[in-house]
Structure 1
Amino acid sequence: MRLVHLDLKGAPPKVSYLSEIFPLFHTLGANGLLIEYEDMFPYEGHLRLLRAKHAYSPFEIKEILHLATLNNLEVIPLVQTFGHLEFVLKHEALAHLREVALFPNTLNPHKVESLALVGAMIDQVMELHPGARWLHVGCDEVYYLGDGEASRQWLQHEQNTKAKLCLSHMKVVASHVQTRHPATTPLVWDDMLRDIPEDQLSASGVPQLVEPVLWDYRADLDVHGKALLMEKYQKCGFPRLWAASAFKGATGASQALTPIEHHLRNHLQWLQVAGSGPANTLQGIILTGWQRDPSDHLCVSGGFAEDVKARVENFLGISSLEITDFMREAGSFPGSNILALITQVSLHLRSSVDALLERDRYVTGWFSPFHRRRKLIHPVMIQHIQPQALSLLARWSTLVQELEAALQRIYYPDAVDEWLEENVYPSLQRLQGLLQDLGKAAGPQTPLASPGLDTSQDP
């Protein structure tokens, strides 16, 4: 299995864009999707409060599955059931189910209501994914497990450990899947299992119920260490293992452009891991794409046979995979126009504004913050500063309007607004502020035009 991970908790795409990108996934060799819905799933009944403003409808979920089938992509849904439950536990009505009252990331595994909540989420997701062979139940990064009051009391009893508490919850969740959906096998991220001793892991019963997904997104992952970890899991009784690399995300909290070399090295090292053990040790590999990145570079270098390289170049509509200047050639794949525009914004917007406001000799010499506060400027200096500022603002405003229209075609309004507010408006507002201060300093006899976007962010 070669799965592409769709992380919908950041900037979920519209279904219309998925119809464009699924054929490319298939063409590039993927045969499955891991869809992490989070609050984009159309939960019903008492779970309806989990829905995001633009959550997919049941009809849209069916359309996604139909599009996946058309492109020979098997869908594995992902439902978080332990850690990373912010989208659930942030709600006041469910806050009492937190492991630690202050933090909304981890579920309290001791409460019957917690297990009922998880079971209801699983059942609703499975109802819209009939026939799914696998269901990913998360269980990664269960931070603060054992720190809640109920857990601290439980841990005071002899033989009780955090590892045992974790395995117990995994077993309950997996048993629910096995009982209610016997044709479906649960997958779990493996990080909470790594340090548990073999004998304890073997005796827990968990290896007979789930298949672990070994994940590591570093560019310098320990190939030998991963091979030893796979051996450990096999000895413990896990029948099948999976791996997970990353094609974007996991390298920073606020990136607009993906460091391709980092991810390429990660992919290649996972291939080394896969080749280090017996054949068919791995059931599949998941290429995770952690969200909040509105666009990605799709440029790579090295590690490909020439025939594969040529095919990928053809699929993406670019002349060379080793291109680094995306201003010159962006490709023809779905979303390539966004790639080109965001590359320009990310690499040049702030730097061009900084160059004018912080390094231009007329601005720094004759219209510094001191002069701007006091509305002082020589009329001659206006003729040096104003045309530059107006030209720069007009150029970026035109490009940003084009970018906003392109983003709106793929993403919902809140995601578009967030990205522009984080990455675009601060620089445009600085330019607009300069022009406004010029106008005030010049006085009513010298009106100044101020074209551009409305970046006031008023409702």
Structure 2
Amino acid sequence: MSVRRRRLTLFAIAAILLVGLFALYHYQTQYVPVPDPSQPLDNSQLGQVSAVLSTNRIEGRDAVRFVRPTGGVGRPKIYKVQPTVYSDVEPGFGDVDVSNFEQPSRDDIARRRQHINYESNDQISSWSKELQRMGMGFASELTDSTGSAIARPPKRILIHFDLKGAPPKVSYINRIMFLAKSLGATGVLMEYEDMAPFSGRLSNIAAGNAYTKDQIKEILKAAKDNNLNVIPLVQTFGHLEFALKIKDFKHLREVPDSPQALCPSLNESLTLVEDLITQTMELHEGTEITHLHIGCDEVFQMGECPRCRNTPRDDLFISHVLAVAQIVRRRWPGVRPIIWDDMLRHIDVHVLRESGLGKVVDPMVWVYAPDVYRFVSPQIFEKYAAVFSTAWTAPAFKGAHGETLVVPPARKHLENTVRWLSVMAAEGPRFEHGFSGIVLTGWQRYDHFAVLCELLPSAVPVMALCLAICSKGRVDKEALEAVNTALTCPETSVANGDRYQRQWIDLNSDPNLYSAFSRCLFPGHQFFKLIQRLEMAHSEATTFLETTKVTRAWMTDYNIRRNYSAPLRIDELMGDSSHILASLTSVARSAPNAMEEIFDDYTISEWVEQKVYPMIKQVEDLEESAKQMREVNVWPKRPLPKLKDLFRFGIPRANPALTQN
């Protein structure tokens, strides 16, 4: 009996130990159900794993079992767990030691976090160096020491269409709107000027190639289809050349000989302004218009006519703006007028506040130089914030750095945009409602009488970059890649396979972005490539003419006027003329094909006449002069007759018989 009892006792003790070990096993081992063992764990399941480890205070290496419910059939499936990889192992009952999985201690976590910070700082430093390499070091100011953007992107991002005197075809505007939307644009600022189909007493203002009402509807439909808000712009004070140049309204000029600005003291001036606004707003019926830009910038001629002479200029300006704003408020109560800010910058804050201007208009602050604060100081923003509850800002993507340029200088425009974002981050909190938005302006002429500057297709790459920067609030790889995609640029392979390492922007060696975007297929890419050809041909021709007529001594104006030079030298100097003339002529002949999908024949003809023809004419005239000089084979002895026209400068005439007529 004693032996049997002893055996039973030992068996009971063993059973108790087994039960205890089993309980301890299940205490140490937790089960996290996973719906699909063939897939990696999602964030929720990873959270459960973390909770299991935390609950059991498991640190170091241990075994953790992940079991998929089997409904009591078969054996559970065991999953091997590593810090970043989750994969299946063979089914089995026992624990599988996951030797590669380690739950770090607090010290481990701290060390790893520090390592991540170092790694992040290294990445930031690397990107800063990349920006420097690209010639965009100025973009670093949009991020803090951690690489985070210093401000959110603007509430609204608009593209300005300046249409005066050279209207792009509606189909092209539609394509640009689609592209702009893809890069973050929220609206468009439409400045029609003489391209609006004015009628009635305003019919003589409309250009012969102005848009029709149906074409305006197409443009507005494209804006709606792309979810772009429309803000019309109507000049109402200065820059009214398109209206004041004609006989019908010449009597409204502030200065009789200049159509730049109207006289604000004439009642008929407000009648003209109201008609311009009314017909423009009627063109936009059916379109939700929340703002109307009424211009009022660069009113150079004010307070000069007899009616205005005795009134302070500031009073003239403020009273006219208030009168125009009242027209808008009376006719379209839900529409908020916007004005350019430059005429406000010097006006005392007390005068502005007492005028009530801040209640009826919002200023749009424009500066196109990289150093925004040089033209609009923090004190001016402080003044504006004391008068206006909000403001708009306006950098430029073209038409700001040279009246006759054919392609925008990318660095200046990008730096201007970046600096504006930085200024907006700093000055926005001053205003009760912050900044309302940013408008990327793109001027086509400096004023109504000026020749064309950069046309829209030549500025598409810069516009795209400015848009991407604004919509991201910073310059990063994502922004640059968005531009690359939107402009349909080909991929560039690199040795290490990292597409972000490709050097497709370098403002130092490629200031006009020809190398970066000449292979892209954006709207107007053919014209963009034509511009590159024009600049190369123009550069060659300029060097040729400078060398031939100024630097060298045998085909100067003096030689040509006197028909007096050495044939050998003429042949030497004119050796490249045929090649240069052929290059220029080729550009002129290629222009219609590159531009016909974008502009009408009038604009194509004007552009060629302004940008290509003058240089062709100079080379052709020089060739004709060389031909005439080459025909001479007998030359007079010195001294040659004096030039008769020099007499007006007091050049003495020693011998009238030797004077050249």
Q: Give the TM-score normalised by the residue count of structure 2.
A: 0.61
- One-letter amino acid matched to 1:152: R
Which position in structure 1 is the counterpart of 2:318?
Answer: 167
- One-letter amino acid matched to 2:303: G
Q: Work out whether 1:393 is the aligned partner of 2:581.
A: yes
Structure 1 residues 81-124: Cα deviation after superposition (integer angstroms, max 9, x where no partner):
11111111111221111112122111111111111110111111
Which position in structure 1 is the counterpart of 2:406?
Answer: 256
Match of 1:49, SS state, is coil
- One-letter amino acid matched to 1:200: V
Unaligned stretches of 5+ residues in structure 1: 156-160, 444-459
What CA distance in whole angstroms lies between the structure 1 residues aligned with 2:607 and 2:283?
31
* Contact 1:313 1:321 (C-alpha < 8 Å) held by counterparts: no
Which position in structure 1 is the counterpart of 2:21?
Answer: none
Structure whose alpha-carbon radius of gyration is higher = 2
Q: CA deviation at 1:437?
A: 4.9
What CA distance in whole angstroms lies between the structure 2 residues aligned with 1:29 and 1:6?
16
Which position in structure 1 is the counterpart of 2:380?
Answer: 229
Structure 1 residues 181-233: Cα deviation after superposition (integer angstroms, max 9, x where no partner):
11211111111222222222122122111111111111111189554433322
What CA distance in whole angstroms lies between the structure 1 residues aligned with 2:575 and 2:622?
12
Q: CA deviation at 1:400?
A: 2.6
Which of 281, 285, 290 is the matching residue for 1:133?
290
What CA distance in whole angstroms lies between the structure 2 residues aligned with 1:204 and 1:368?
62
Q: CA deviation at 1:180?
A: 0.7
Greater relative CO (CA pairs within 8 A, separation 6+)? 1
Q: CA deviation at 1:167?
A: 1.1
Q: Work out whether 1:338 is the aligned partner of 2:541.
A: no
Q: CA deviation at 1:296?
A: 2.6
Q: Work out whether 1:95 is the aligned partner of 2:256.
A: no
Which position in structure 2 is the counterpart of 1:152?
Answer: 309
**Are the structure 2 counterparts of residues 307 and 432 from structure 1 closer, same or farther at C-alpha, using a change threshold of 3 Å?**
same
Match of 1:149, SS state, is coil
Which position in structure 2 is the counterpart of 1:182?
Answer: 333
What CA distance in whole angstroms lies between the structure 1 residues aligned with 2:199 and 2:585?
42
- One-letter amino acid matched to 1:99: E
Q: Work out whether 1:286 is the aligned partner of 2:439.
A: yes
Which position in structure 2 is the counterpart of 1:427?
Answer: 615
Which of 444, 461, 471 is the matching residue for 1:298?
461
**Are the structure 2 counterparts of residues 268 and 10 from structure 1 closer, same or farther at C-alpha, using a change threshold of 3 Å?**
farther
Which position in structure 1 is the counterpart of 2:602?
Answer: 414
Q: CA deviation at 1:50?
A: 0.6
**Are the structure 2 counterparts of residues 398 and 253 from structure 1 closer, same or farther at C-alpha, using a change threshold of 3 Å?**
closer
What CA distance in whole angstroms lies between the structure 1 residues aligned with 2:556 and 2:266?
62
Q: CA deviation at 1:149?
A: 0.8
Which position in structure 1 is the counterpart of 2:279?
Answer: 124
Structure 1 residues 148-202: Cα deviation after superposition (integer angstroms, max 9, x where no partner):
110114x2xxxxx322221111111111101111121111111122222222212
What CA distance in whole angstroms lies between the structure 2 residues aligned with 1:149 and 1:206?
26
* Contact 1:327 1:343 (C-alpha < 8 Å) held by counterparts: no
Q: CA deviation at 1:298?
A: 2.5
**Could you tell which deviates more after superposition, 11-20 or 52-61?**
11-20
**Could you tell which deviates more after superposition, 215-224 or 76-85?**
215-224
- One-letter amino acid matched to 2:399: G
Q: Work out whether 1:321 is the aligned partner of 2:321.
A: no
Match of 2:315, SS state, is helix
What CA distance in whole angstroms lies between the structure 1 residues aligned with 2:232 and 2:258?
26
Match of 2:343, SS state, is coil
- One-letter amino acid matched to 1:334: P
What CA distance in whole angstroms lies between the structure 1 residues aligned with 2:368 and 2:355?
28
Q: CA deviation at 1:75?
A: 0.8
**Are the structure 2 counterparts of residues 119 and 364 from structure 1 closer, same or farther at C-alpha, using a change threshold of 3 Å?**
same
Which of 210, 213, 219 is the matching residue for 1:58?
213
What CA distance in whole angstroms lies between the structure 2 residues aligned with 1:19 and 1:94?
34
- One-letter amino acid matched to 2:231: I
Match of 2:308, SS state, is helix
Q: Work out whether 1:11 is the aligned partner of 2:172.
A: no
* Contact 2:548 2:555 (C-alpha < 8 Å) held by counterparts: no
- One-letter amino acid matched to 2:409: P
Q: Give the TM-score normalised by the residue count of structure 1.
A: 0.85
Unaligned stretches of 5+ residues in structure 2: 1-155, 445-452, 493-503, 632-661
Which of 257, 264, 267 is the matching residue for 2:417?
267
- One-letter amino acid matched to 2:505: L
1:177-256 correspondence runs (5 A): 177-222=328-373, 226-236=377-387, 238-256=388-406
* Contact 1:260 1:297 (C-alpha < 8 Å) held by counterparts: no
* Percent pairwise identity: 37
Q: CA deviation at 1:7?
A: 1.0
Q: Work out whether 1:70 is the aligned partner of 2:259.
A: no
* Contact 2:548 2:556 (C-alpha < 8 Å) held by counterparts: no
- One-letter amino acid matched to 2:577: A
Structure 1 residues 9-52: Cα deviation after superposition (integer angstroms, max 9, x where no partner):
25321112112211111111111000111101111100001101
What CA distance in whole angstroms lies between the structure 1 residues aligned with 2:561 and 2:301?
50
**Are the structure 2 counterparts of residues 129 and 371 from structure 1 closer, same or farther at C-alpha, using a change threshold of 3 Å?**
closer
Structure 1 residues 302-351: Cα deviation after superposition (integer angstroms, max 9, x where no partner):
961111111212222345233726268512111122111112212x2233
**Are the structure 2 counterparts of residues 223 and 353 from structure 1 closer, same or farther at C-alpha, using a change threshold of 3 Å?**
closer
- One-letter amino acid matched to 2:381: M
* Contact 2:168 2:599 (C-alpha < 8 Å) held by counterparts: yes
Q: CA deviation at 1:297?
A: 7.1
- One-letter amino acid matched to 2:244: L
